[in-house]
Amino acid sequence: MLISELDTPALVVDLDVMERNLSQMAEYCRRHHLRLRPHTKTHKIPELAKKQIASGALGITVAKLGEAEVMLKAGLNDLLIAYPIVGPAKTKRLADLAIRAAVTVAVDSEEAARGISAAMAKRGSEVGVLIELDVGFGRCGVATENDALALAQKISSLPGLQFKGLMFFPGHFGVSPDERAVLRKQVNDFLDRCYEAFARAGLPFAIVSGGSTPSRYESEFFHGVNEVRPGTYIFNDRSTVGVSAATIEDCALSVLVTVVSTSVSGRAVIDGGSKTFSSDTYHAEHGRGFGLIKDDPATEIERLSEEHGHLNVTQSDRRYSVGERLMIIPNHVCTTVNMHDEIYGVRGEQVETVWQVAGRGKVR
């Protein structure tokens, strides 16, 4: 089958670019003796998780239990759930998972740790635990080295929990390289304080898990980090390019769309809106536009209705006509993928493979 035969909207992955992204990241990790545990929330496709393992990852990261269940069913059995697991419905599922796979979870509260411990004790299973630190993103994570140590000591005393180390997500690193260097110093100061506090208390640990896509090739400069969890890097997207953490040529995934209307002056309308792209905004240029039209950057995707993308064509020399097809790099590839049942892998004009997005919508 050829790309020209695909119905639209469709997610199309350039396999050569994706494979290059995977091998460059794996090679970086090998060179710097970092364990690679990619976050699979970007693609939610077990076949791609297996490619990541084949290229050098030691295991994978997921956000939700539902994603973990999909991945385990496909045979991926070394899982970090980098998300707080809270409530009896979830801790029971976690205990079931931990019987069948090597599972580690991140926690930042005694409440969550106690709930998980109770479910593990009841089921007779054990789970590894990382303590999440808030290194400046301000989402989850304990704020101080003393809080981290107190929680680690508590975890070490609870049944079914094995304290394994620290974890952080530098989600605020989607900024320029110079700004990232300043932020990294703050992260390193916090990590150093943690290492001193744990050493003084005589509480050793093996894992320090960090990493993101914007910071992926700077991972070696984070003190003590020995595991990284980039996710977006497999495809990259317009926002990753916007913060100088990838180039357009590194973007593997495009949304193939068709122009369905040009009747309003100064406009062209494509057959993808917020239900195709998601409404996530661009992380640069004050958030302008809902994607990049690959061969016409001058035309802005100004607005999204649910099923219509509104193109402002007034700044471009190009004439748009009904029926023509465009390739668009989405602002945020992870949320875009989550809106689709399948992804097409292409080489040149040829559609080589189709993957089901098996973990899409698994928000529990």
Ligand X SMILES: Cc1ncc(COP(=O)(O)O)c(C=O)c1O
Closest CA to 55 of 32, 78, 70, 38: 38
Tell how strand 35-36 and strand 325-329 pair up: unpaired
Local structure of residue 243 (DSSP, 8 states): T
Closest CA to 131 of 86, 94, 92, 84: 84
Closest CA to 327 of 342, 346, 341: 346
Name residue 69's amino acid.
E
With CB under 6 A as the contact rule, the residue among 169, 235, 320, 344 that binds ligand X is 169
Q: What are phi and psi of 208, to 5 degrees?
A: -125, 105
Of 177-185, 224-232, 267-275, 280-288: span binding ligand X (CB under 6 A): 224-232
Of 49-57, 154-162, 228-236, 287-295: span binding ligand X (CB under 6 A): 228-236
Number of residues forming the site for ligand X (CB under 6 A): 11
* Closer of 128 and 230 to ligand X (Cβ): 230
Which residues have a Cβ under 8 Å from the Cβ of 54 and sit 6 or more positions away? none
CA 289 – CA 30 distance, rounded (Å): 37
Decide: is 39 part of the binding site for ligand X (CB under 6 A). Answer: yes
Decide: is 213 part of the binding site for ligand X (CB under 6 A). Answer: yes
With CB under 6 A as the contact rule, the residue among 62, 82, 107, 155 that binds ligand X is 82
With CB under 6 A as the contact rule, the residue among 9, 128, 230, 345 that binds ligand X is 230
Residues 195 and 211: beta-carbon distance below 8 Å: no
Provide the minimum distance between the beta carbon of 334 and ligand X in the complex, in angstroms, as a whole number: 6
Decide: is 236 part of the binding site for ligand X (CB under 6 A). Answer: no
Decide: is 332 part of the binding site for ligand X (CB under 6 A). Answer: no
Of 117-125, 156-164, 225-233, 269-277: span binding ligand X (CB under 6 A): 225-233
* Closer of 104 and 213 to ligand X (Cβ): 213
Contact footprint for ligand X (CB under 6 A)? 39, 61, 82, 169, 212-213, 229-233
